[in-house]
Structure formats: C-alpha cells, structure tokens
Amino acid sequence: MNQYKKIVFLCEGDPRDKTSWSGTMYMMYSSLIKLGHDVEWLPATQYSHSEINFIEKIASVHEKVLNRTFNRYQNLTKAFIASKRTKQKLENLKFDLLFVSNAINDIAFLNIKQPIIYVNDTLYDQHINYYPAYQGLGWYSKKILRFIEHKALRKCKAVLLPSEWSIERAKSFYKLSKNKVHLLRFGANIDVPIKEDFQPKELTNPITFLFLGVEWKRKRGYLALETIELLAKKGYNVELKVVGCIPPVKSDLLNVIPFLNKNNPKEYQQLKNILNSSHFLFVPTEAECYGIVFSEASAYGLPSISTATGGVRSVVKDNVNGFALPLKATPEDYVNSIEPFLVDKEKFKNLSINSRKRYEEALNWNVWRSKLKTILDSIN
C-alpha cells in the first residue's frame, strides 16, 4: 500500500517540460508518477519587482561596506518571503509528502506536518568559489547561504544527491546522518536504444568528438579544440562537433550546431542521431556538479572524456566509460590518454561496450526510481 498517495512536487520550472533543468525535472516528476503517486506541481516562489529591488538595495549596501559580492540567490529576505508564500499555498492543498528540487529558500523556514524529501545535483555550499556566480562572496553571504541550506536540510526526512562528492560534504559539513542522505545518480534525459538494439561504437572516419553543452568557456571547449587540433597534426582524421553553443573561434575542425530543442521532435531526433554517430563525448569542464550528459553518452555507448572535478568522477569511471584527467591537464595530456584508443580499435570497442554497461547498471532512471521507492517505503 502506497502511504504517500498524493505528492506535491515543488521546483523551479515546469517539470512537464523536457528542457527544464536539461530534462532532469521531467524525469523525476515522471518517476514519481510511474511509482503510482498522484503528483501535483507547485512552482517555486517568484519574487515581485519591488521585492527584487529591495534585495538589490541590500546587495548594494553589502557590497559597498564589505567590498565583496552579495549572494542574490539564497539570502534571508528571499528565504523568509518564499517559505511564507509556500506555506500559504500548501495550506490550500491536500497532500501526503512534499518533494522539493533545488528550492531551499521555499523550505528553509517552512513548518509542515508532512514529510519533505529534497533533491539537488549538489549542495549550494559547494557552489562557493567553484561556480562563477558564487565567486567573491562576502563572509556574510557565505554564512547566510550555509545557514539557509542547513535549515532546509534539517527539515527533510531524506536528502537525495547524485555524487559521492556531495554526499561526503553533506555528512562532514552539515553533519547529516547516513540514514538521511542518499546517493541516487541521475540517469539519461533522452530516449536511449534498448539493450537488444544497442550496437557498440566502431571507429570510422572522421572520428567525431562531441562537445555537448551551452557554456563554451566553463566547459572549456577551447581545451577540447586544442586537443583535436593536436590529433589532426598527428595525422588523425578528427572533428569536434559542437552542439548547444557557438564557439568564439573559427576552425576547419569545428562542426557547429548552435541549439537543439528536445521539445521539437525533429531536433530531438537529430540529437539522438548525433549521439549515435559520434565516437567520444569530450567535455573537459572546469566545474561540474554532476553531468547528466555523461549518463546520456554512456547510454549510447559513447565514452566520455572529461575532468576530475566536482561530481564528474561519480559518473565517469576511468577506463570503464571513459576517463577524467586532472584539472591542470594540458591538451598534450589529453592526446596521450586518447591516442591508445585510436590506434587499437578493439580497445575502443571494449570501452564503448563498458560505457553502455555502466549506464545499464548505475546511470539510468530505473535504478534511481527503484532506490527512491525504497526510501519512500522507509519514511514514517
């Protein structure tokens, strides 16, 4: 018997939209429905112009006095407003459990009798001095962010995170018990070949390295391009296919597709065709909470080449479904790691087979859903 028949799904963006949070929201929302729950979406709090202006005034004073950046995303003003407004909305709903994605402002000061489950791709604390928007924060902003996050996490019956990187931080910094924090890796947010139809990759010319992402600078597309250029100089027939952004550089080795919309059937099919026809996913990102794209690549038997940073190592395992080099690795280092798979076709094929195997064993939403069911059944 399902003890949590009615679930309110609180998040930013419409979870029925496949582009919301790259489709992660849609997959979680769908998973709850597949488990037999009646799920109602509740949008996270939106702030009025006057509220935003008030926060800007606070930020201006803060930045003048401390000469440091003010956190405009998680702060006391937003948390008080959001928690109060969410409380009012929930009072008009009949539900058994609140499922929250990302929206810590909405629950930091929220008091309800129903249990809360919280999910994110990382802790906001881990954004500090890691992601560009959280660089240079003043001590006050850091303290408040951590205070709000701690308040929110303490209210939850379960906290779901996709990487060991975040799990360990939740335990060591916020002192969450191992019974409260759970490792649930995100799956692929795209239709994938069924097991019976899967065919491992074979090296063909040109050898296509896929850069899939909207942020060329943060995901270090320039490093990927420099690596491809070195491989080309060594005589390999290679190209870098870029999907999701327009690089600020020109090269004969670039094949650019600026944007593909998953909600558009034709463009969605084009994206799947690109994953099918590429040989490697190459995203040497500078900062990454997790990386859904690595799960998607594995689903297509596409080995991932990336960086050992953030939550990447929770998805990409060396010589299993690709490899992740140190942050300081050079284009020459990447060439040295890639080249053995280009000269040995059987070695490359085995890497493709193991990439798909990793998807089937750990990086899919069926596994995520099964673990969530176990957690839901254990909450009282």
Q: Are 116 and 107 in contact (CB under 8 A)?
A: yes
Q: What percent of the chain has pLDDT over 90?
A: 92
User: What integer best gives the mean pLDDT of the chain?
Assistant: 95
The stretch 205-223 carries a mean pLDDT of 96
Between 261 and 55, name the one with better pLDDT.
55
- d(C-alpha 314, C-alpha 201), whole Å: 23
Tell me the pLDDT tens digit for each residue of 168-198: 999 999 999 999 999 999 999 999 988 888 9
Longest dimension (CA), the chain: 67
Residue 34 neighbours by CB under 8 Å, 6+ apart: 369
The stretch 14-42 carries a mean pLDDT of 92
What is the topology classification, in CATH, of domain 195-362?
Rossmann fold (3.40.50)
What are the residue ranges of helices labelled H in 70-179?
76-90, 139-154, 164-172
pLDDT band for position 2 (50/70/90)? low
Judged against a pLDDT cut of 50, whether residue 1 lies above it is answered with: no
Tell me the pLDDT tens digit for each residue of 361-380: 999 999 999 999 999 999 97
pLDDT for position 22:
80
The stretch 192-209 carries a mean pLDDT of 92
What is the topology classification, in CATH, of domain 6-187+364-378?
Rossmann fold (3.40.50)
Tell me the pLDDT tens digit for each residue of 259-299: 998 888 999 999 999 999 999 999 999 999 999 999 999 99
The stretch 144-157 carries a mean pLDDT of 97
- d(C-alpha 308, C-alpha 349), whole Å: 23
The stretch 16-21 carries a mean pLDDT of 82
Domain with CATH 3.40.50.2000 in the chain: 6-187+364-378, 195-362
The stretch 38-63 carries a mean pLDDT of 96
pLDDT for position 263:
81
The stretch 74-90 carries a mean pLDDT of 98
Taken as a whole, the chain contains a residue count of 380
Tell me the pLDDT tens digit for each residue of 240-254: 999 999 999 999 999
Cα of first residue to Cα of last residue in the chain, in angstroms, is: 13
